[in-house]
Chain A
Amino acid sequence: MGVTSAASSSYVAMTGIYKQYGDYEASKDVNFEITEGRIVALLGPSGSGKTTILRMLAGLEHPDEGDIHIAGQRVNEIVPAKRGIGFVFQNYALFRHMTVFDNIAFGLDVQNEDRGKIEKRVTELLDLVGLANLRDRYPGELSGGQRQRVAFARALAPRPHVLLLDEPFAAIDAKVKHDLRQWLKATIKKSGITSIFVTHDQEEAVELADEIIVTNNGRIEQMGTPEEIYGQPATPFVAGFMGKAKGIMNYEKLVGFDKEEDFDWAIIRLEFVAVYKKDADHGNKSAVEHGVVEAVTFQGTRLSMQIRIGEHTLEAEQPIEANMFTVGEEVDVLIYRLFLCSNTDVHIAKNKALEPGQVFYI
């Protein structure tokens, strides 16, 4: 979690940030610091305050309280243009009546840079984003992915300290998203710029970011590497938000789990559950539940199932080339582990009935 003062090692930091719009508290005691050169995701559901944080870093909004530091300088009173940030808007906000070249050159142009230097820098950036052959096109003639690249190059042109991206993939076709993410990550790493982006898509955050800041209700729930956020959630919210998760009550009725005081409910993730044919030999007979398949949905490469175990209905997935299951079939269900939750805490509980030495992967 965040540290209370902006240490000199941190490159971007927010300290004790509060922000309110009327009655709505968009930021409540937001603290974090980011090391130079990292890619950080601000991840959370809509209305969780992630975009407000980004806009405050850019200077598009101003905090009611607290300090913002960028590159060792307190920037609260500094106008957006002088903060040394590059901003990529959600819809890119490219200048529609300017060519790709003029778009990228704009930031240098308004600083009255020397024409030769502009030409050199823009050419450099066009090569970086692979659009050298489209320099005289207009944004209207580009695909979504190409527009994103132009926006990215335009933001980088004046050599900002920090790159801020607001939902960079919101306007991109689902089909090409994955490739573009890989490209963006590689290109950011190549340019070495500290980057912060907002997203509500955990897949995007995990794929792209070195570190993730999870926001909820105007607060920061947790900050850490994708692995930490995923495997060691700090709060019930993070445990439930990441992955495909479901909350259940009376978890002690499941084989291998005991009731713990204050921990009244549990979160079960898709990958905590394995489903076996009744007659399969999986060596964990003592740890399984007996369940009935209630619904089967074919999802491309995977089979998604709803399985009833006593009072609980669980979700499970199987690769398509594994066993086929039919509705009404009786199955063995193995629950490896659960996140047990109290009001504020969460910790992992393993299935006690599993034989020691049993290895599993998530």
Chain B
Amino acid sequence: MNEQNQTNEIKRIPPVRIEGPKRQTSGKKAKTPRLLPGFGLTLGVTLTILSIIVILPIGTILGFALQIPPATFWQAISKPVVWHAFATSLTTAFVAAAINLVFGTLLAWILVRYTFPGRRIIDSLIELPFALPTAVAGITLSKLYSETGLLGSALVKLGVSIVYTKIGIIIALVFVGIPFVVRSVEPVLAKLDGSYEEAGAVLGANNFTIFRRIILPEILPAGLAGFALAFARGLGEYGSVIYISGNSAKAQTQVVSYVIMQKLNYVDYEGATAMALVLLVLAFLILLSVNLMQLRQARRLGGR
């Protein structure tokens, strides 16, 4: 179209209406009553139970922790035992979550993309760490890797010792964290239409390029969300870790939850709450990042 046209022709009919002065509705507007019944009742029940079980207890910890004078608080946190426990928990949980990110994605991939004998069994086994009580997992792993255990006896001959080391902690955390990554990545991978990859292949990309450029960006947010969940779980893990770790202050194999439990047993509530506060803040930051990642992912996939 040339310029003349644009000035002379109106594609869209202009909105032509002379507006009177804006009407003042008298007083408060009648609020639309909710059509469905039961809002007040269910919200009331939800808030009551949530308050008793979660909000009040956690709020009490926060309140108590914030009343501790800063100097005392710092003293409680900066003790070497405490410091080492945080360092141990953070590093082992991180490494375990990273291992889970790799193997979790791999497992999700073969479960979604391939059919092979034993697929359903693997699929069910993935859920085992969710269902198996942590204390059972703890003593079992400890036994498995001990000098008399199935794997431990073999490893001893190689001169590798796992029980009562940080490696032991990592193995326990890999065990409890693996379902998080698999179950986060699986649905995204299943939704990823094969035509995506075909489009890439038609454009001449090789398998590795297709994976790196097309698939990886799609599943990365879900993978990271799974990573963060496994990481958060690992940070606070207690039952599955304490048997295999040996809980030695000297070897720095005490995890945060163990030290908090110790302090509880010694009735050192200030120390316990101070550590709990730090752990809560860390958990909150991780939870926040998971939510942000899931939000981003939902947007990319066009929302629910």
Direct contact of A and B (CB under 8 A): yes
Give me the interface of A with B, judged by CB distance under 8 Å. 18, 20, 28, 59-62, 64-65, 80, 217, 219, 235-237, 239-241, 245-250, 265, 267, 311-313, 341, 343-344
- Assuming the contacts A62-B30, A64-B25, A64-B30, asked whether A343 and B16 have C-beta atoms less than 8 A apart, the reply is yes
A247: which of B1, B13, B18 is its contact (CB, 8 Å)?
B13
> Are the CB atoms of A18 and B16 closer together than 8 Å?
no
A-B contact pairs, 9 of them (CB 8 A): A28-B23, A237-B13, A240-B13, A247-B13, A247-B14, A250-B8, A312-B8, A341-B16, A343-B18
- Assuming the contacts A20-B25, A247-B11, A311-B4, asked whether A62 and B33 have C-beta atoms less than 8 A apart, the reply is yes
Given contacts A247-B14, A343-B17, 20 further A-B contacts (CB under 8 A): A60-B35, A62-B33, A64-B25, A80-B35, A217-B17, A219-B17, A236-B16, A237-B13, A237-B16, A247-B9, A249-B7, A249-B8, A249-B9, A249-B10, A267-B13, A311-B8, A313-B9, A341-B16, A343-B16, A344-B18
> Are the CB atoms of A246 and B9 closer together than 8 Å?
yes
B5: which of A219, A240, A311 is its contact (CB, 8 Å)?
A311
B interface SS class: loop
Q: Is B29 an interface residue (CB 8 A)?
A: yes
With a cutoff of 8 Å between Cβ atoms, the chain B residues found around residue A267 in the complex are: 13
Chain B interface size band reads 20 to 34
> Are the CB atoms of B29 and A20 closer together than 8 Å?
yes
A18: which of B7, B14, B18, B23 is its contact (CB, 8 Å)?
B23
> Are the CB atoms of A62 and B32 closer together than 8 Å?
yes
A245: which of B7, B8, B13 is its contact (CB, 8 Å)?
B13
With a cutoff of 8 Å between Cβ atoms, the chain B residues found around residue A62 in the complex are: 30, 32-33
B272 smallest CB distance to A (angstroms)? 49
Q: Is B38 an interface residue (CB 8 A)?
A: no
With a cutoff of 8 Å between Cβ atoms, the chain A residues found around residue B11 in the complex are: 246-247
With a cutoff of 8 Å between Cβ atoms, the chain B residues found around residue A61 in the complex are: 32
With a cutoff of 8 Å between Cβ atoms, the chain B residues found around residue A235 in the complex are: 16
A259 smallest CB distance to B (angstroms)? 14
With a cutoff of 8 Å between Cβ atoms, the chain B residues found around residue A65 in the complex are: 25-26
> Are the CB atoms of B9 and A248 closer together than 8 Å?
yes
With a cutoff of 8 Å between Cβ atoms, the chain A residues found around residue B17 in the complex are: 217, 219, 237, 343-344
> Are the CB atoms of B25 and A18 closer together than 8 Å?
yes
A112 smallest CB distance to B (angstroms)? 18
> Are the CB atoms of A248 and B13 closer together than 8 Å?
no
With a cutoff of 8 Å between Cβ atoms, the chain B residues found around residue A343 in the complex are: 16-18
**Residues in B103-160 with C-beta less than 8 Å from chain A:** none
A306 smallest CB distance to B (angstroms)? 10
With a cutoff of 8 Å between Cβ atoms, the chain B residues found around residue A59 in the complex are: 35
With a cutoff of 8 Å between Cβ atoms, the chain B residues found around residue A311 in the complex are: 4-5, 8-9
With a cutoff of 8 Å between Cβ atoms, the chain A residues found around residue B25 in the complex are: 18, 20, 64-65
B96 smallest CB distance to A (angstroms)? 43
What separation, in Å, do the CA atoms of A247 and B14 have in the docked complex? Answer: 9
- Assuming the contacts A61-B32, A64-B29, asked whether A217 and B4 have C-beta atoms less than 8 A apart, the reply is no
Closest residue of chain B to A249 (Cβ to Cβ) is: B8
What separation, in Å, do the CA atoms of A341 and B13 have in the docked complex? Answer: 10
With a cutoff of 8 Å between Cβ atoms, the chain A residues found around residue B10 in the complex are: 247-249, 265
With a cutoff of 8 Å between Cβ atoms, the chain B residues found around residue A239 in the complex are: 13
Closest residue of chain B to A247 (Cβ to Cβ) is: B10
With a cutoff of 8 Å between Cβ atoms, the chain B residues found around residue A80 in the complex are: 35
With a cutoff of 8 Å between Cβ atoms, the chain A residues found around residue B5 in the complex are: 311-313
> Are the CB atoms of B30 and A344 closer together than 8 Å?
no
Q: Is B15 an interface residue (CB 8 A)?
A: yes
With a cutoff of 8 Å between Cβ atoms, the chain A residues found around residue B13 in the complex are: 236-237, 239-241, 245, 247, 267
What separation, in Å, do the CA atoms of A245 and B13 have in the docked complex? Answer: 9
With a cutoff of 8 Å between Cβ atoms, the chain B residues found around residue A313 in the complex are: 1, 5, 9
Q: Is B212 an interface residue (CB 8 A)?
A: no
Q: Is B12 an interface residue (CB 8 A)?
A: yes
With a cutoff of 8 Å between Cβ atoms, the chain A residues found around residue B30 in the complex are: 62, 64
With a cutoff of 8 Å between Cβ atoms, the chain B residues found around residue A250 in the complex are: 8
A217: which of B9, B12, B15, B18 is its contact (CB, 8 Å)?
B15
With a cutoff of 8 Å between Cβ atoms, the chain A residues found around residue B1 in the complex are: 313
With a cutoff of 8 Å between Cβ atoms, the chain A residues found around residue B7 in the complex are: 249
Among A60, A235, A247, residue most surrounded by chain B Cβ atoms (within 10 Å): A247
A184 smallest CB distance to B (angstroms)? 26
What separation, in Å, do the CA atoms of A299 and B4 have in the docked complex? Answer: 28
What separation, in Å, do the CA atoms of A172 and B4 have in the docked complex? Answer: 42
B227 smallest CB distance to A (angstroms)? 37
What separation, in Å, do the CA atoms of A208 and B12 have in the docked complex? Answer: 27
Closest residue of chain B to A58 (Cβ to Cβ) is: B35
With a cutoff of 8 Å between Cβ atoms, the chain B residues found around residue A240 in the complex are: 13
Closest residue of chain A to B22 (Cβ to Cβ) is: A25
**Residues in B1-57 with C-beta less than 8 Å from chain A:** 1, 4-5, 7-18, 23, 25-26, 29-30, 32-33, 35
